Amino acid sequence: MKKLSLLVTIIMVMFLFSCQPPIREVEQYTIEQFMDNVRIIGKSFSINEKKILYSSNESGIYNAYELNLETGEKKQLTQRDESTFITGYLDESERILIYSDKEGNEISHIYIRNIDGTIEDLIPFEGARVNFFGWSYDRKSFFFQSNNRDSRYSDLYEMNIQDMTYKMIYENKEGYDLGDISIDKNWLSLSKTITRSNSDMYLLNLKTNEIEHLSEHEGDIVYRPLDFSGDSKFLYYLNDENSEFTYLVKMNLESGEKEKIYDAGWDIMYAYHTYNEKYRIMGINQDSKTVIKVFDMNTGEEINLPNFEGLDITSVSVSRSENFMAFNASSSRETSNLYIYDFTTNDFKQLTNTLNPEINIDNLVDGKIIRYKSFDGLEIPAVLYMPYNATVKNKVPALVHVHGGPGGQARIGYRSHIQYLVNHGYAIIDVNNRGSSGYGKTFYSLDDRKHGDHDLKDCIYAKSFLTETGLVDPEKIGIIGGSYGGYMTAAALTFAPEEFAVGINLFGVTNWLRTLKSIPSWWESYRNALYKELGDPFKDSTYLYEISPLFHADKIVKPFMVLQGANDPRVLQAESDEIVNAARKNGVPVEYVLFEDEGHGFRKKENQIKSWEKILTFLDMYLKNPE
C-alpha cells in the first residue's frame, strides 16, 4: 500500500511539472543589480508623527534615514562606516537613538545623533554590550540592558532623557532573560530558559526586589512573557501547554487566574498592545509566512488591513496617537516596502520603492511551499524556487538550501541571493528539516542529539523530490547554507560524501567541541539549553567529535567552498581555516573567501556582492558545467 501511495505521489508531481509551458527565456541580472535593491529595517514615528525613521543599506551599508510624511522628502541622517540601525526619536527636538557594533563583533552600543549631526556613544561601557530595552510610558526616560557588571548576564538600567544620567534598577545575578517592565515601573517580567522547548516565567517587584515564580509546571512547556496591561494588573505571555504551538494568555497578577486570549493553530511569534491599548498586534508564523493580525481592543473585532494581491504584511508599528500604522509588505519576488495606513480614513500609501528599477519583477520567481517525505516517512516542509528555463527536456542544476539555527526556519520572503541564483538557472529547495521552528514543538525537538544524522537525511531526501519533478538534473544537485546551514553543508560532504555534487559553507560550524566551549559569554542563559540539544563539550566530547565535520575532512571528495567573517564571535575563523586546510589535502577544488570586516553574516553590500559573485562562478564551474 505504501509503495502504491508513493507511486501515485511521484506520478502527480511529474504530471504537475510536465504540464508547464515551453521554456521561457528571461533577462539575467548581475549580482550588482540584485544588491542595488534597497533593504529597510525598523521604523519609528517622530513625536509629532510627521516623519518616520528607518534604517536602510541604500548607501552600501546600513545607516539611519528620515522620511517626511507630508512632502515625501527623504534625508540620510548618518553616514557611518559601521552598520547602523535606528531605535527611535529621543524627543521633540528630533535627536535620535541608534545602535551598532564594530565590524560584526556583536558588542553593540547605543549612540545618540544630535541635531547638528554629531554622534556620541551614550553609554561607553568598554567591552560590554549595551542594548535598548524600551521607552517609559511618559517618554521622560528609557531603559537599557548591559552585561558591563558581569559579562554573562544583562542588568537593567533607566536613563533620564533630560540630563542623560542613568541608574541600575535591576541587578541580574541569577541570569534571567528580561521580559517587559510595567507602565507604573513596579513590575519586571523575567524568564529562564531550561531547554529550547522548556522555560520558566517570573515576576519581579522592583520596589521590594521580591521574585515570584509564575510558571511551576512539569514537562516541556514554553513560557514567554510579552507585555503588561496599561493598569499593570495583567501580564500577557506566550504558552504552549497542551499544544504543539504557542498561544496568547493573560494572567491576573493578583489572583493568578489565566485566560487564553488567542490560539491561531500556529506559533504566535509576538504580540503587543499599542500606546493606550486601543489595538492588539499579533504576528503569526503560519506555514513559513508571517500573518499579521490587528484587533480593536474595545470591540474585540479584527481590523481589516489593506489587501495586497500576492503580498504579505510582515511587520507593523503604530504611532503614539494610535491614528497611524507603518508596515512592511513583500513577497518572495517583491522586495519589502514601507507603507503607512490611517486608521481614521482607512487610506494607505506606499512610502518607498526598494526594487532596483533595472529588474523586471516578471523575471523573478515565486517561492512555493511544498512538502516531501523523508527517510522515515516524516513530512518535511520546504520552499521551492524553480527557474523559468526548467523543463522536462531542459533539466537544470539545483541546490538544497539549509537555513541557520539550529532551530531556524526557511520562510517566504524576498531573498536577493536566492533570486540571483534562480535567475541564473539554478533550482533551489529551501528545506525545513526536522528541528526547524514553526511546525510544532515535537517537530522542533526531533533533531536533538541527532545532528549530522537525521537532519542531514532530511536534506538528502530533498534530492528525491527535486528529481521527481522531472525538471532537475539528478547528477547536478549541490548543498548550501549559512551558520547551522553551513554545518549541514560540511556534514553532507563528510558524512555522506557522494550525495551532493558540491558544497558551499557560509560561516558554518565544523568543530562543535570548540564552538560550544567558546560561545559568547552573553549567551550564558542559553548555554545549558544548547548543551542539552547538541551535547556538553566537557561531558560528551566523544559524541561531539563524531558529529564534527573537521575530524572527518579526509572524506571530502567534492568541490568545496567556504566563506567566513574574521570577526565572527559565534563561529570562529579558526574553524573555517582548519577545514579548508584539511580539505585541500584531499586534492579536491577548495575555495576560501575571508572578509576581515565582517562577523556572523555579511552586512556590507560590497562584501555581499563579492561573496555571491564568487559563489555563482564556483557553481557554474563545478555544478552547472563540470569538466
Render pLDDT for 209-231 as a digit per residue (tens, 0 to 9).
999 999 999 999 999 999 999 99
User: Is 190 or 12 the better-scoring residue by pLDDT?
Assistant: 190
Q: Going by C-beta distance under 8 Å and a sequence separation of 6 or more, which residues neighbour residue 258?
A: 249, 250, 251, 252
In the chain, % of residues over pLDDT 70? 96
Which grid cell is 524? 550564558
Please report which residue ranges of 19-165 form alpha helices under DSSP H. 31-35
pLDDT at 1 over 90: no
Banded pLDDT at 22 (limits 50, 70, 90): low
Which residue from 590, 399, 385 is spatially nearest to 501, judged by alpha carbons? 399
Which grid cell is 577? 581555516
100-107: Cβ within 8 A, 24+ apart: 101/599, 102/567, 103/567, 103/597, 103/598, 103/599, 104/565, 104/567, 104/568, 104/597, 104/598, 104/599, 104/600, 104/601, 104/603, 105/567, 105/569, 105/599, 106/520, 106/569, 106/570, 106/599, 106/600
- Which residue type does 564 have? Q
CATH of domain 365-624: 3.40.50.1820
DSSP reduced 3-state for 537: coil
- Averaged pLDDT score across all residues of the chain: 94
Banded pLDDT at 10 (limits 50, 70, 90): very low
Give the per-residue pLDDT at 588: 97
pLDDT at 4 over 50: no
Largest CA distance in the chain: 75
Which grid cell is 334? 517583491
Q: What is the DSSP letter of 262?
A: E
pLDDT (tens digit per residue) in 433-444: 999 999 999 999
pLDDT at 2 over 80: no
Beta bridge partners of 262: 248
pLDDT (tens digit per residue) in 370-428: 999 999 999 999 999 999 999 999 999 999 999 998 899 999 999 999 999 999 999 99
29-32: Cβ within 8 A, 24+ apart: 29/358, 29/359, 29/363, 29/420, 29/423, 31/420, 31/608, 31/609, 31/612, 31/613, 31/616, 32/609
DSSP reduced 3-state for 350: strand
Place of cell 555581499: 608
| Residue 450 and residue 422 in contact, taking contact as beta carbons nearer than 8 Å | no
Give the per-residue pLDDT at 308: 82
Mean pLDDT of 354-372: 97
Which residue from 406, 409, 335, 437 is spatially nearest to 41, judged by alpha carbons? 335
pLDDT at 262 over 80: yes
CA dihedral 18, 22, 28, 31 (to 10 degrees): -10
pLDDT (tens digit per residue) in 140-160: 999 999 999 999 999 999 999
Q: Going by C-beta distance under 8 Å and a sequence separation of 6 or more, which residues neighbour residue 345?
A: none
Helix (H) or strand (E) holding 15: helix 2-18
Q: Going by C-beta distance under 8 Å and a sequence separation of 6 or more, which residues neighbour residue 49?
A: 69, 319, 320, 321, 323, 324
d(CA 83, CA 55): 9
d(CA 413, CA 321): 31
- Which residue type does 606 have? E
Q: Is 199 left (phi over 0), alpha (psi -120 to 50) or beta?
A: beta
pLDDT at 345 over 60: yes
What residues does each domain of the chain span?
125-175, 365-624
Banded pLDDT at 513 (limits 50, 70, 90): very high
Q: What is the DSSP letter of 620?
A: I
Give the per-residue pLDDT at 526: 85
d(CA 568, CA 483): 11
Give the per-residue pLDDT at 564: 98
Which grid cell is 610? 563579492
Q: Going by C-beta distance under 8 Å and a sequence separation of 6 or more, which residues neighbour residue 546?
A: none
Is residue 362 classed exposed, middle or buried when 0-12, 13-18 and 19+ CB atoms within 10 A define those classes? exposed
pLDDT at 9 over 60: no
In the chain, % of residues over pLDDT 90? 91
Which grid cell is 161? 532623557
Banded pLDDT at 6 (limits 50, 70, 90): very low
Backbone angles phi, psi at 171, to 5 degrees: -95, 110
d(CA 76, CA 281): 30
Give the per-residue pLDDT at 11: 46
Give the per-residue pLDDT at 109: 98
pLDDT at 68 over 80: yes
